[in-house]
Structure 1
Amino acid sequence: MMDVEVEESSWFLPTVLIAAVSFIALYFTRRFFKGGQFTERVSAKGLVAVVTGANCGIGYETVRELNLKKADIYMLCRSEEKANDAKRALVRQGCDATRLHFIECDLTDFESVRRAAKETLKLTDTIDILVNNAGIMFQSKHELTKDGHEKTWQSNYLGPFLLTELLLPAVKKSQYARIVNVSSLMHMRSGKINIATVDDKKSFGMMKSYSQSKLANVMHARALTKELRKDGAEHVTANSVHPGGVDTELTRTTILAWPVIKQISAPFRWFFLKTSRDGAQTSLYVALGKKLGGISGKYFADCKLTKENPLALDDQACQDLYNYSLEATGLAK
């Protein structure tokens, strides 16, 4: 009898210890993949925010958190049906429906962007927070928009650029005034942007085009900062963020969206990728962080300042891109 008890105790304690160590290791590994979290206690009461791509993923979670913090939100989405579905889901999560407003906006259509900006400015003359969140990824073939630009380039960069410029008068009226461009770590893989050939089929590549559009987001924030300073609008800030590796609908056009593959990969995606809520944290940090007033033209990831692609620090290239963008969107004087 004594031998049995000794034998049982000899494996019981090591087993418990291994289980405990494994649990702790898994916990901290998961915490690592979740990335930085915005935990600052702030209120957005009285603030007006505009968020693109607001019906799903990072945009949805950005809207949810801003609304719960009492902000008034204009949700710019392509589909009214999907926006209404999102609004119902947000209300079930405790959001105030009276502070959720849908405006149709398709960033691949300049006329749609102009209508959205016009409608937004009819409803509010002051915008405190603008989050350029919407974008596309994994565009497998070269495709031009009705405006004549490569689809990824217009959706991820030119469309948000035009929207920002059109809403800028209302942003300048705010004493809070923060613009957030959702970029990506993939911008680090982009080479120099050739604005003369950016729409050409020969220069198209699925990840190449995505990476350069995200580099343009970072360069836009830097160039816009200089323009705002020249105009005497020092109170307006424009920054770019990397949300992290997030499990969102950006993969909806790939085999990863196939039902069987989604089901099989679900636990791995949950463990190794950020959730949409995790992915929204840096956008929220830059939009609401108390210590970031006056910081502009910078790039953030995991709720902290980080280094961008050195190409984004070329002020002449940033200015050239800005001037080209004014021309491309019909805003040049």
Structure 2
Amino acid sequence: MSNKTPFGPEGWMPARIGDLTGKTYIITGANGGAGFEAARILISKGARVVMMNRSAERSTAAVETLKKEFGPDTNVSFVRMDLAEMASVREAAADLLESEPRIDALICNAAIAQVATQQFTVDGFESQLGVNHFGHFLLSALLFERIEASSGRIVMVGSNGYKMGDNRIRFEDLNYDQNYSAWNAYAQSKLAQMVFGYELQRRVRAAGRSVEVHVCHPGASRTGLIRDTAGIVTRLLAVMLSPLAQSAERGAWPEVMCATEEGLELATYYGPTRFEMVGPVGACPLKAFVLDPQQAKDLWEVSEEKTGATLTV
């Protein structure tokens, strides 16, 4: 796919968003970084935002910050959820379905990255694959019917890191028990998330379901994503490159666009278009292996098996 910005030379901007009063947006990992900035933008347009975060303490602080900025009646709350625990995802989804009659978009923003040494979730998954893909797969499955009833959207926040690994899902060794590396495992986790997003997009369209699915990336943004997980060399490199990165707010623009903009294209990868790192938000190049239908089918089946969730579209 060629690089293009269908929103003009300046790309997509939040000024394009209309009044969102009465709409509800669910954002995972929204107590900091791009997720928090996405919440700020949506709230500024009148939306209700529900954060789904692991830390109750940081979530409370984030809610207080937003209410201080927008007023005490700001329509923002959080549900505690740990994407690394399938039981936590199920409990959080149940709480959300009980409290939220509509979901206009689920933004799958949370992630962990460059985990220095091989770690496992409580369910036995390599930590990055477990959090970034399996946790979001399960959450999407559990919330899908409510999202469709609201004619809503699912947004997968990918990463250009998907190109930095094996360029395929290692079904024979999902946990990277052989030759684990932080970059390869992270690349696989984001590739899996994106492959799932595009496959869900295809299945939804084929079935005529009332859900939009879009995939995006934040580019190079100052979000603190690797602060607690990466090795010292990776963290030092991130500090050195920080001046070249854009703000967390600009990093949030692609996911907010995918949650609100009308007329977005299928099989398209949205994000900053200048070297796919910064600059105007539009459509970015996408490697063909992300759209491989057999890989997508196999991943769907494995994901249902691993999470115990059936996502029928």
Q: Report the TM-score range of the alignment, normalised by the length of the smaller protein.
A: 0.7 to 0.9
Q: Give the C-alpha shift of residue 81 in structure 1.
A: 0.9
Equivalence for 1:248: 223
Equivalence for 1:114: 90
- What are the superposed Cα offsets for residues 220-245 of structure 1, whole Å, 9 maximum, x if unpaired? 11111222234430x31111111011
- The 8 Å contact of residues 68 and 95 in structure 1, kept in 2 or not, is answered as no
Give the distance between the partners of 1:332 and 1:165, measured in 2 at CA: 7
SS state of the match for residue 42, structure 1? Answer: coil
Where do 1:133-212 residues align within 5 Å?
133-175=109-151, 177-190=152-165, 191-212=167-188
- What percentage of aligned pairs have identical amino acids? 29
Q: Output the amino acid matched with 2:251.
A: G
- What are the superposed Cα offsets for residues 180-229 of structure 1, whole Å, 9 maximum, x if unpaired? 11101111223211223111421521001111111112111111122223
- The 8 Å contact of residues 66 and 74 in structure 2, kept in 1 or not, is answered as no
SS state of the match for residue 240, structure 1? Answer: strand
> TM (normalized to structure 2)?
0.86
Structure 1 272/208 Cα, relative in aligned 2: closer, same or farther at 3 Å? same
Equivalence for 1:14: none
Equivalence for 1:284: 256
Matched, 1:275 2:247: yes
Aligned residues: 290
Equivalence for 2:275: none
Equivalence for 1:27: none
Structure 1 257/219 Cα, relative in aligned 2: closer, same or farther at 3 Å? closer
SS state of the match for residue 278, structure 1? Answer: helix
- What are the superposed Cα offsets for residues 50-90 of structure 1, whole Å, 9 maximum, x if unpaired? 00001000000011111111111111010111001011111
Q: Give the C-alpha shift of residue 141 in structure 1.
A: 0.7
Q: Output the amino acid matched with 1:149.
A: F
Give the distance between the partners of 2:218 and 2:286, measured in 1 at CA: 14
Mind listing any 5+ residue stretches in structure 1 that lack a counterpart?
1-33
Q: Output the amino acid matched with 1:208.
A: N
> TM (normalized to structure 1)?
0.81
Mind listing any 5+ residue stretches in structure 2 that lack a counterpart?
1-9, 273-280
**What RMSD, in angstroms, separates the aligned Cα atoms of the two structures?**
2.3
Higher helix share: 1
Structure 1 327/59 Cα, relative in aligned 2: closer, same or farther at 3 Å? same
Where do 1:50-129 residues align within 5 Å?
50-94=26-70, 97-129=73-105
Q: Give the C-alpha shift of residue 98 in structure 1.
A: 4.3
Give the distance between the partners of 1:161 and 1:63, measured in 2 at CA: 21
Between 1 and 2, higher relative CO (CA 8 Å, sep ≥ 6) is seen in 2
Give the distance between the partners of 2:147 and 2:126, measured in 1 at CA: 28
SS state of the match for residue 196, structure 1? Answer: helix
